[in-house]
Structure 1
Amino acid sequence: MDGLQSSVLEFRSSTFFAPVLVLYSNDMHAIALHLQEKIASAPDFFKSSPVLFDLTELNEHGQEIDVAALIALLRQSGLCPVGIRGGNDAQARLALASSIPVDSGRSSGSARLELSNAPAAMPEIQAMVVKEVSHAPAMLVTQPVRSGQRIYAGGDLVILSQVSAGAEIMAEGNIHVYNTLRGRALAGVQGNTAARLFCLDLQAELVSIAGVYKTSEDLKASIKKKPLQVYLQDQALIVEELN
Structure 2
Amino acid sequence: MSTNSKKTPNTSLALEFKSSNFSVPVLALSSDDLITIEQQLQEKASVAPDFFKNLPVVIDLQASNKLECNIDIETLTAVIKKVGLLPIGIRGGNAQQNKQALNLLIPVYSVNHGVTTEEPQKQQTPAPTPETETRDTSTMLITQPIRSGQRIYATGDLIITAQVSSGAEIMAEGNIHVYNTLRGRASAGIQGNKDARIFCFDLQAELISIAGIYKVSEDIGASVRNKPVQIYLQNQALIIQDLLQHH
The aligned amino acid for 2:80 is L
Closer/same/farther in 2, CA of residues 134 and 49 from structure 1, 3 Å limit: closer
Q: 2:33 aligns with which of 27, 30, 39?
A: 27
**1:202-234 Cα shifts (integer Å, max 9, x gaps):** 111100000000000011233233211111011
Residues of 1 paired with 2:11 and 2:198: CA distance?
47
Structure 1's consecutive aligned runs of 4 or more residues displaced over 4 angstroms after TM superposition are 1-5, 132-135
**1:129-149 Cα shifts (integer Å, max 9, x gaps):** xxx999711111111111111
Equivalent in the alignment of 1:213: 214
* Bigger CA radius of gyration: 2
- How many Å apart are 1:87 and its aligned residue? 1.1
Equivalent in the alignment of 2:120: none
* Conservation of the 8 A alpha-carbon contact between 1:139 and 1:157: yes
The aligned amino acid for 1:180 is T
**1:59-111 Cα shifts (integer Å, max 9, x gaps):** 1111111111101111121111111121122212211211211233567xxxx
**What is the correspondence of 1:40-59 to structure 2 with a 5 Å cutoff?**
40-59=46-65
Question: Under a length normalisation based on structure 2, what TM-score does the superposition of the two structures give?
Answer: 0.82
- Tell me the secondary structure at the aligned position of residue 223 of structure 1: coil
Q: Kindly indicate whether residue 172 of structure 2 is the aligned counterpart of residue 171 of structure 1.
A: yes
* Conservation of the 8 A alpha-carbon contact between 2:136 and 2:155: no
RMSD in angstroms over aligned alpha carbons?
Answer: 2.2
- Tell me the secondary structure at the aligned position of residue 224 of structure 1: coil
Equivalent in the alignment of 2:151: 150
Equivalent in the alignment of 1:181: 182
Aligned residues: 219
Closer/same/farther in 2, CA of residues 162 and 13 from structure 1, 3 Å limit: farther
- How many Å apart are 1:165 and its aligned residue? 0.8
Gaps of 5+ in 1: 108-131
Residues of 1 paired with 2:52 and 2:162: CA distance?
24
User: Which region of structure 1 is more displaced relative to structure 2, 150-159 or 27-36?
Assistant: 27-36
Closer/same/farther in 2, CA of residues 198 and 90 from structure 1, 3 Å limit: same
Equivalent in the alignment of 1:60: 66
* Conservation of the 8 A alpha-carbon contact between 1:18 and 1:151: no
Residues of 1 paired with 2:70 and 2:233: CA distance?
44
Equivalent in the alignment of 2:203: 202
Task: Give me the identity figure in percent.
Answer: 58
